[in-house]
Amino acid sequence: MIFVIDLLAATLRNATPLVYGTVGETYAERSGVLNLGIEGTMYAGAFAGFATAWATGSLLLGLLAAIVVGLAAGAVMALMTVTFGANQHVSGIGLTIGLIGLSEFANRLIFAGGELQRIEPMPILNPFGGLGEISAVFDQYALTWIAFLLIVPAAWWLLQRSSFGLEIRAVGENPEAADAAGVNVARTRYLALMIGGALMAIGGAFFTLALLGSFTLDIIAGRGWVCVALVIFGRWRIGRGVIGALLFSLVFSLQFRLRILPGFGELPFELLLALPYLVVIGALALSGRNVAYPGAYLKPYRRT
Amino acid sequence: MRVSPWSTPLLIVYAILITFAITAGPILIAGANPIEAYGAFVVVPLTSQFTLLEILVSATPIMLTGAAVAVAFRAGYWNIGAEGQLLLGAIAAAGIGTLVGGLHPVIALPIMIVGGALGGAAWALAPALLRIRFGIDEVVTTLLLNPVALLLVNGLLHGPWRDPVTGFPESPRIAASAEFPTLIDRSRLHLGILLALIVVTVAWYVLARTAAGLRLRAAGLSPHGARFAGINVSRTLLGAALVSGAIAGIAGVSEVAGIQNRLTAGLSPGYGYTGIVVATLGTLTMPGVAIAAIFLGDLTVGASSAARSLGIPSQLGAVVQGVLLLTTVALLALRRNRARRPADGSAGSVTGDVAAEGTAG
């Protein structure tokens, strides 16, 4: 029982950055832009959040710094792909390389390779404290509560029910028609990419401000790429993407716990860790030709 | 004849200058003089024999991954998985390298190189089949196989291949006959650079001078047009993907046999992704790839020497690479917009951007 409760708590915790990243990437892709800058944006969010919180002693300022960095990263991606109409894959990879480089450059300058600096990470909250043993599942960081109770429903409502969300989906599906209907395609894509970038950066900052309380190299370790996969796994739907993030996190948390049990020590856990990636590729293969990519996916828009 | 201000070589020079202007910011923050810093990055490595050879050592893996990426991109196949394909080539080389101790190097080395190429090609196979059979975007599948390949490396190093004596996560050293010979005494320059130059030359010849190369370029410029002209686009894409994976696999062989002599977790600091920078900077042409790889090799050697002499963190090298990639694709896109061609299948692709000038090499 303890094992299950612990596993569920870890699943929610480890899913948190993936939820931010997946929702952020969903916004970018629904507007018609594949943002492969996500890995670098999460990395830069993790670093900027940590460095600011370390320098000011305020977690809130750290979070704000991460958001500002995320907005800026989204704006650069929009400048490249919307204003210049440059290739989306290459722009995203360039953004990721540049942001990881910039974060490590600043890390080296500020912390000079000395001993690992730490901050006091955000406390764990439990609004369901009185439920006995099971309430341990709800021992979670504020950023986890915000992700599941605020960001996910709000992001869903904004995308599916608001007129702004309709504009995002319209410019991602058929920018010519949206333009003819009076939607400012460039402005909508800029906003979608910047909102998405801010969410990705918060996802990265979750590692430094909540989970670890410190910044280490390779801290994102490919989780941005996982989010890109989860968006497709969820067929560009926020709800399904979140379910994908929870499933990925469940497998991740499970292998981590099995590893320390007697008798499991010799199993090749790297293979289990690879499973979620392979599941996404397998799911893509099974859905085959039915994968309904956004209509304007990967296409720059120019008035003719 | 007046040279167009939008010609490809000039465009790349602009990209480099704009990049240097942008990265002057971080250099100033680091408390160094940007002019002096660029001198240290670009010029200083050219001034001694040791650093000149080190430039070629650094250029070797990224010339191969750059060629791998360029071959795929030219076909309109977005292989972002050169990193994983390189690692599979490295695994194959580390495995074969321990088994060929009894053979003469003239036999052992080709076996290892072919094995690594097959490993890389095998890793590229599944995304290519998914693309041509089901139309599944290869960007995501090739990308996702990169962390899987890294997990495979770590699984081997923490499991069956862990060094039995030291317990370090390093595979056993490959046989002496499987090590690439060094080309010049007291340097690290090894056979890999010749291999890279041969690959680039052959790829140039195939792309520019053969029917297969013409089919590949046609598929990249306009899949519909190519199909209309009777080209089997699916088979062409499959071929491009496998050749791309094989070349990336050879990069892995080169690092194992020429530098590390074993499989290690830190074998590739992102050579597969740097390959995208090299291919784009080289505007997807093979001579361009060779020059871009040597230029980035120069920057890499320069970044580590500038770290020592000027106190600029060597991570600036990665910043320069990222910004350079962004400025290059941005300028290529601006040139295309300027040409005001109607939107077609090649819009927004590097392939189309390069072709906008009419370069066919």
Lowest mean pLDDT among A236-240, A296-300, B130-134, B234-238: A296-300
Most confident residue range from B183-192, B228-237, B249-258:
B249-258
Cα torsion A230, A234, A238, A244: sign = negative
**In a domain? residue A131:** no
Q: Are B337 and A302 an interchain contact pair (Cβ–Cβ within 8 Å)?
A: yes
CATH code of the domain covering residue A173: 1.10.3470.10
Check residue B115 and give its pLDDT: 98
Q: What angle do CA B39, B40, B42 make, to 5 degrees?
A: 65
Instruction: Tell whether the model's pLDDT for residue A131 goes beyond 80.
Output: no
Q: Which two tokens stand for residue A49?
A: 């959040």
**What is the domain extent for residue A166?**
2-116+139-290
Interface of A with B in 221-250 (CB under 8 A): 221-222, 225, 228-229, 232
Instruction: Tell whether the model's pLDDT for residue B128 goes beyond 60.
Output: yes
Contacts of A140 (CB under 8 A, 6+ apart): A9, A12, A13, A124, A125, A126
Q: Compute the nearest-CA separation of B169 from chain A (Å).
A: 14
More confident residue, B348 or B280: B280
Of the candidates A56, A49, A70, the residue with the CA atom closest to the CA atom of residue A213: A49
As a whole number, the mean pLDDT across chain B is: 91
Contacts of B324 in chain A (CB under 8 A): 94
Q: Are A304 and B336 an interchain contact pair (Cβ–Cβ within 8 Å)?
A: no
More confident residue, A17 or A290: A17
A89 touches chain B (CB under 8 A): yes
CA B165 – CA B54 distance, rounded (Å): 32
Q: How confident is the model at residue B359 (pLDDT cuts 50, 70, 90)?
A: very low
Q: How confident is the model at residue A77 (pLDDT cuts 50, 70, 90)?
A: very high
CB B300 within 8 A of CB B29: no
CB B332 within 8 A of CB B353: yes
Contacts of B274 in chain A (CB under 8 A): 97
Facing A270 at nearest CB: one of B145, B151, B274: B151
Contacts of A100 in chain B (CB under 8 A): 318, 322
**In a domain? residue A126:** no
Residue A260 CB: number of other CB atoms within 10 A? 8
Q: How many interface pairs between A and B have CB atoms less than 8 angstroms apart?
A: 174
Per-residue HEC secondary structure of chain B comes to CCCCCCCHHHHHHHHHHHHHHHHHHHHHHCCCCHHHHHHHHHHHHHHCHHHHHHHHHHHHHHHHHHHHHHHHHHCCCCCCCHHHHHHHHHHHHHHHHCCCCCCCHHHHHHHHHHHHHHHHHHHHHHHHHHHHHHCCCHHHHHHHHHHHHHHHHHHHHHCCCCCCCCCCCECCCCCHHHCCCECCCCCCCECHHHHHHHHHHHHHHHHHHCHHHHHHHHHHHCHHHHHHCCCCHHHHHHHHHHHHHHHHHHHHHHHHHHHHCCCECCCCCCHHHHHHHHHHHCCCCHHHHHHHHHHHHHHHHHHHHHHHHHCCCCCHHHHHHHHHHHHHHHHHHHHHHHHCCCCCCCCCCHHHHHHCCCCCC
Contacts of A95 in chain B (CB under 8 A): 322, 326
CA B11 – CA B5 distance, rounded (Å): 8
CA A264 – CA A268 distance, rounded (Å): 9
Instruction: Encode pLDDT of B37-55 as tens digits.
Output: 999 999 999 999 999 999 9
Binning chain A into helix, strand and coil, the percentages to the nearest 5 are 75, 0, 25
**In a domain? residue A303:** no
Check residue A207 and give its pLDDT: 97
Facing A93 at nearest CB: one of B151, B152, B273: B273
Q: Are A101 and B343 an interchain contact pair (Cβ–Cβ within 8 Å)?
A: no
Q: How confident is the model at residue B347 (pLDDT cuts 50, 70, 90)?
A: very low
Q: What angle do CA A80, B304, A214 make, to 5 degrees?
A: 70
Interface of A with B in 162-201 (CB under 8 A): none
Q: Which two tokens stand for residue A271?
A: 């293979």
Q: Compute the nearest-CA separation of A60 from chain B (Å).
A: 25
Facing A278 at nearest CB: one of B80, B148, B315: B148
Instruction: Tell whether the model's pLDDT for residue B348 goes beyond 60.
Output: no
ipTM of the modeled complex: 0.92
A97 touches chain B (CB under 8 A): yes
Instruction: Tell whether the model's pLDDT for residue B355 goes beyond 70.
Output: no
One-letter amino acid for residue B105 of the chain: P
**Mean pLDDT of the region A126-148:** 85
Q: Which of B142, B148, B153, B331 to substitute to test the interface with A, most A CBs within 10 Å?
A: B148
Q: Which two tokens stand for residue A124?
A: 């764990």
Q: Are B348 and A87 an interchain contact pair (Cβ–Cβ within 8 Å)?
A: yes
**In a domain? residue A122:** no
Domains of chain B: 8-315+330-355 (1.10.3470)
Q: Which of A36, A90, A220, A267 to substitute to test the interface with B, most B CBs within 10 Å?
A: A90
**In a domain? residue A297:** no
**Mean pLDDT of the region B321-326:** 96
Instruction: Tell whether the model's pLDDT for residue B344 goes beyond 50.
Output: no
Cα torsion B142, B148, B152, B158: sign = positive
Q: Are B151 and A271 an interchain contact pair (Cβ–Cβ within 8 Å)?
A: yes
Phi-psi region of B45 (alpha: psi -120 to 50; beta: other; left: phi over 0): alpha
Check residue B353 and give its pLDDT: 64
Instruction: Tell whether the model's pLDDT for residue A40 goes beyond 70.
Output: yes
Q: Are A281 and B329 an interchain contact pair (Cβ–Cβ within 8 Å)?
A: no
Q: Are A222 and B147 an interchain contact pair (Cβ–Cβ within 8 Å)?
A: yes
Contacts of B321 in chain A (CB under 8 A): 97-98, 101
Q: Are B80 and A36 an interchain contact pair (Cβ–Cβ within 8 Å)?
A: yes
* Total structural domains within chain A: 1
Q: What angle do CA A247, A248, A250 make, to 5 degrees?
A: 60
One-letter amino acid for residue A235 of the chain: R
Q: Compute the nearest-CA separation of A58 from chain B (Å).
A: 24
Instruction: Tell whether the model's pLDDT for residue A252 goes beyond 90.
Output: no
Q: Compute the nearest-CA separation of B337 from chain A (Å).
A: 8
Q: At what angle do helices B316-339 and A88-111 cross, to 10 degrees?
A: 150
**In a domain? residue A165:** yes
Instruction: Encode pLDDT of B86-100 as tens digits.
Output: 999 999 999 999 999
Of the candidates B203, B216, B221, B350, the residue with the CA atom closest to the CA atom of residue B280: B350
Check residue A87 and give its pLDDT: 92
pTM: 0.93
Q: What angle do CA B221, B223, B229 make, to 5 degrees?
A: 100
**Mean pLDDT of the region B301-320:** 91
**Mean pLDDT of the region A76-97:** 96
Q: Are B322 and A285 an interchain contact pair (Cβ–Cβ within 8 Å)?
A: no
CA B56 – CA B296 distance, rounded (Å): 10
Rounded to whole angstroms, what are the CA distances from B138 to A10, A225, A273, B19, B352?
Answer: 32, 14, 22, 30, 18
Q: Which two tokens stand for residue A284?
A: 């893509």
Q: Are B143 and A228 an interchain contact pair (Cβ–Cβ within 8 Å)?
A: yes
Cα torsion B130, B134, B135, B141: sign = negative
**In a domain? residue A39:** yes
For chain B, give the percent of residues with pLDDT over 90.
78
Check residue B1 and give its pLDDT: 53
**In a domain? residue A280:** yes
Of the candidates A101, A35, A41, A59, the residue with the CA atom closest to the CA atom of residue A298: A35
Check residue B59 and give its pLDDT: 98
CA B7 – CA B354 distance, rounded (Å): 10
Check residue A290 and give its pLDDT: 67
Check residue B84 and give its pLDDT: 97
Q: How confident is the model at residue A284 (pLDDT cuts 50, 70, 90)?
A: confident
Residue A47 CB: number of other CB atoms within 10 A? 30
